[in-house]
Structure 1
Amino acid sequence: MSMIIGWREWVDFPEWDIKLKAKADTGAKSSAIDCAEILELPNNRVRFTVRLDRKEKQLITLEEDIVLRKRVRSSTGHPTDRIFVETTLLLAGFEKKIIVSLVCRKRMIHRLLLGREALGGDFLVDSSVDHWATPKRKPKKKEG
């Protein structure tokens, strides 16, 4: 059984302790997260800085294993070589492992794009609804 989501939803990455507003894009095959810096490290690792907001006031630097390298065609039609990492996605209580490409999305509205590989089999997107499964405003952090 698949969960219905809107074309935009709040998602968590619990392993990274971050929450982002994501755009569900059934036209995109892979997912992409907005990174300010991407630095390849020895032993097939990568250090990257995620932009949590458009104004670059909130940044978080993470380090992960590289799980895939692939040429991806952007929405403008330009192919680029990208690095992919794996993490856990948490959306409206549903948790799954996904791979996400690291790329500069600073000119885009959403810091995170969820493509078909992340959505497929688990989520159905209602493109007429903005935030079906999560609130429109950023959920407040739990105290305690």
Structure 2
Amino acid sequence: MSAKIIVGWREWLGLPELGIEKIKAKVDTGARTSCIHAFDIEEFSENGETWVKFTTHPLQEDVETTVECRAKVVERKYVTSSSGQRELRYFIETKLVAGDQSWPIRVTLSNRSTMKFRMLLGRTAMENRIVVDPALSHLL
């Protein structure tokens, strides 16, 4: 395995399998699960498997730029947010690009329109790969 990546508390990441070249993420070691902003989520079946298609605004404070995404559903389960709200969410798996490295991560889909960051990178996605320096940002 490559050396661990050092990141700040917010970073530009990529999710190329979803068609998202760049998305600013809050790096959150307090969150177990990663999450991406998603709306107009529609479940459908393809070859006997459950898939979702959804729309996202990958850029902060930009509701004009949209990306249409689709992914196979890994599971659905309840997730409790930092505010204590329980929400039934879709989990998908997709490739994360962080600097010059990439690996598959699990991401939940949730409407983050009221949140500053369109993506939250949780500790499960960072495990054994990333070290966070909370005093810095945009190291990648």
Alpha-carbon separation, structure 2, partners of 1:79 and 1:28:
14
The equivalent residue for 1:33 is 36
The equivalent residue for 1:76 is 83
Alpha-carbon offset, residue 55 of structure 1:
3.0
> Contact 2:5–2:129 at 8 Å: present in 1 too?
yes
So what's the TM-score if we normalise by structure 2? 0.90
1:51 aligns with 2:57: yes
The equivalent residue for 1:91 is 98
> Contact 2:19–2:67 at 8 Å: present in 1 too?
no
Pairwise mapping of residues 1-20 of structure 1 onto structure 2 (< 5 A)?
Answer: 1-18=3-20, 19-20=22-23
- Runs of 5+ in structure 2 lacking a partner? none
Coordinate RMSD, CA, aligned: 1.1
Alpha-carbon offset, residue 36 of structure 1:
2.1
- The runs of at least 4 aligned residues of structure 1 exceeding 4 Å deviation read none
Query: Aligned letter for 1:14?
Result: P
So what's the TM-score if we normalise by structure 1? 0.88
Alpha-carbon offset, residue 118 of structure 1:
0.5
The sequence identity of aligned pairs, in percent, is: 38
In the comparison of the two structures, how many residue pairs are matched? Answer: 133
Alpha-carbon separation, structure 2, partners of 1:70 and 1:29:
14
